[in-house]
Structure 1
């Protein structure tokens, strides 16, 4: 019996399993704390069938069944069906556009019988598999532009469809796959350009355009002055400097205003303005203000489990889903929040460790995809709750309430565990 059990669990990375179980447990306890009102029998509340925490326990049970099925599946199945899974994911996304259900302003839900789920969550897994399949192919030369464009298309096609579903938050998650591409050889200059674009957008929103134009002019003049010797040797450098100056000026003067008035919707603009402190409407800033009040009220050590007032009395919106971190911050304070985030950091580092010990390119790329998705969700969700990012509806991995999210992250992690367990047998 012991030998059979040992063989069944042979090769499993227990640190990842332990961290996974810790986060799911924290999530269920936090959802309970967010919904507990201190009335009646606490045991009766725990087994209440209509509460989100009871449903989350059920979703956790379903997730464990999926994890067991994945663990008993040959790892070659995931490489063989990666492209088929991607095609199926795209088909589901397109199906949502036709027969999807609107939930809280997002047309991104499919309803089958009494069960509803978001294909945009599941498609993250499908996209990760397809990207790993493509980048590990013997025919793929990622030093060539064509290969990089194909990889970018694999990541961005689902994102474009999801944007049509008015689910901007989940659409942005697909940009996390560019971190995977960077690990596989995408030039770092592209990430620098992307970061510079974000800085330009923020500058255009925070600084008067005339002042910003003057700053660009002064910086360009200084660059030309200190580069005058190089410019004499190579005239093309002057053209490059002036080209960057013209592009930046045009971008902040025309592109950003056009995007904010003609492309983005009103609620998206308001969310960005709330983040930047430019929105004074109490209704628009309510979510973020209440979130920050709840977290701040926890102080250093917190009020204690089930003793939070901001979350218990429904001051914080969506406190079981997007703003679940508020419950942790209020009940356990700064110290508890740091310990909680340390669990995520430990999980991310462990996944990266697992990725780097792989002999299979497919598994390494897939592992970095899992780490990138979790990191993006974590960074945006926490930033959202403390006012550093606009409220875009991204759940906290394994912690926020939601069956689609919990099952997707469970499958992402356990497919990685299955692939890692076979690393000695799988060649490129």
Structure 2
């Protein structure tokens, strides 16, 4: 432990203030969704009968934990990074075997009166383990073997999380590739990943034959305009032909197999709703389930995911420029928006405070991310720098996907808004992520690597 008299020495208070501000905003937004005229405001906090009361309790627990982390010597995190990663993997596997099932996801452990989602908390452990591996003296991250080990560290918990039926949360672990890119991962890998995402979207919109012709025309144009380069570099011609063949095979074979054979019905539902294309299940049971959803949504939409997004956009749009005012929203307070205290909490901000309020809110996140990057770049230790970029990447992924999800630019995959959405495991995870970073930064002058 560090000397308690020096707890404030070297601490970046701007991060602490931003953290506290966002947690308070989250509590206010959850309260705005649940409060009804005549309710006793403080009784639910004591009885835990309302979500905002539960979140307030978690905020208190996280505050105590934050102080404990600030009192801890930063060397503790470097020394125990691999151990904590191992514990995180074991907890994720335990949740898969003996965990409780919530909304189709078997990713929860019940501890007394609390529920804990290990795959959420494992993001912290993975961030520490990746930082530990890259910072080793013997690790040369410019080599393929080291990059493969780093990818394995990042993706192992993602694989377990997919098995728990938490696909959205599993995608968060891909944010660590941004960290590895900062440390020497070739840009080719990120470009390939982005290209596959584009091909996936195109394959959902157009038929394989159309894409085959389009890719062939594009390749022919590139060959025509770059024909002079082929005289000096013959390999370039084969690269273009190879990319064309690869894109064609992925569009006509790999993606249809992935969507129709690997993905589950609700995943196909969300993917198709993203591109506005009708999802028509072939299986009779799936078709019956779809009809049931239509009945529940009174035939307004084809599927539940699209219904959620439509209600979300209506709520945000109804706020106009300046919003309806705090506790005056109608769409969110009267439960028109599904999951409005978790995945769609941004709707409450958009409806209550409008476009200008939403921009001011997002500015807080932008300042937080910018500050974390500044902290990352001033670290003397490779471990601290990698960890800081891991924190920035996780926050950036969550913020981007959640906001895009609520306005219909990304599929509904259950990604919470950091420090705002209701959920003890989520708040606990982001608290630990930030305050370990603050502790590492405070001790940066004492660490040589």
The TM-score, its normalising length taken from structure 1, stands at 0.97
Secondary structure of the structure 2 residue equivalent to 1:292 = helix
SS at match of 1:388: coil
Match of 2:104 in 1: 105
Instruction: Give per-residue Cα distances to partners, 1:34-67, cap 9 Å, x unaligned.
Output: 1112244556567663101111110001001111
Between the aligned partners of 2:108 and 2:46, the Cα distance in structure 1 is: 27
- CA separation in 1, counterparts of 2:19 and 2:370? 13
Pairs within 5 Å for 1:53-202: 53-202=52-201
Unaligned 5+ segments in structure 1 are none
Equivalent pairs, count: 425
* Contact 1:36–1:45 (8 Å) recurs in 2: no
After alignment, is 47-56 or 162-171 more displaced?
A: 47-56
1:383 paired with 2:382, answer no
Is the partner of 2:390 in helix, strand or coil?
helix
Matched residue, 1:423: 444
Cα offsets for 1:360-414 (capped at 9, x unmatched): 1100000000010010000011111111111111110001011111011101100
d(CA) in 2 for partners of 1:8, 1:146:
40
Task: After TM superposition, give the deviation of residue 12 of structure 1 in Å.
Answer: 0.6
> For residues 425 and 284 of structure 1, do their structure 2 counterparts lie closer, same or farther at Cα, with a shift above 3 Å needed?
closer
Contact 2:45 2:57 in 1 (8 A): no
Q: Kindly tell me: are residues 277 and 231 of structure 1, through their superposed partners in 2, closer, same or farther at Cα, counting changes over 3 Å?
A: same
Distance 1:53 1:353 in 2: 33
Aligned to 1:298: 319
Question: Does residue 354 of structure 2 align to residue 336 of structure 1?
Answer: no
For residues 292 and 37 of structure 1, the distance between their equivalents in structure 2, rounded to whole angstroms, comes to 23
Q: How does 1:14-33 map to 2 (within 5 A)?
A: 14-33=13-32
How many Å separate the matches in 1 of 2:304 and 2:170? 25
* Whole-Å separation in 2 of the counterparts to 1:324 and 1:138: 44
RMSD: 1.4
| Counterpart-to-counterpart distance in 2, 1:384 and 1:164 | 23
> Is contact 1:37–1:313 with CA below 8 Å preserved after alignment?
no
Structure 1 residues 272, 118: closer, same or farther in 2, change over 3 A?
A: same
Q: 2:429 aligns with which of 398, 408, 411?
A: 408
Structure 2 SS opposite 1:110: strand
8 Å CA contact 2:316, 2:348 repeated in 1: yes
Distance 2:29 2:115 in 1: 23
Q: State the match for 1:371 in structure 2.
A: 392
| Aligned counterpart in structure 1 of residue 381 of structure 2, from 357, 360, 377 | 360
Aligned in 2, Cα 1:223/1:420: closer, same or farther, shift over 3 Å? same
What does the per-residue CA deviation read over 1:250-297, in whole Å, with 9 as the maximum and x for residues that have no partner? 111111111110010110010111111114515442111111111111
2:227 equivalent to 1:206: no
In structure 2, stretches of 5+ residues that fail to align are 279-300
CA contact (8 A) 1:142 1:148 kept: yes
Instruction: Identify the range of structure 1 (161-170 vs 46-55) with the bigger mean alpha-carbon deviation.
Output: 46-55
Give, in angstroms, the shift of residue 192 of structure 1.
Answer: 1.2
Are 2:262 and 1:263 equivalent residues in the alignment? Answer: yes
Mapped contact 2:176–2:393 kept (Cα < 8 A): yes
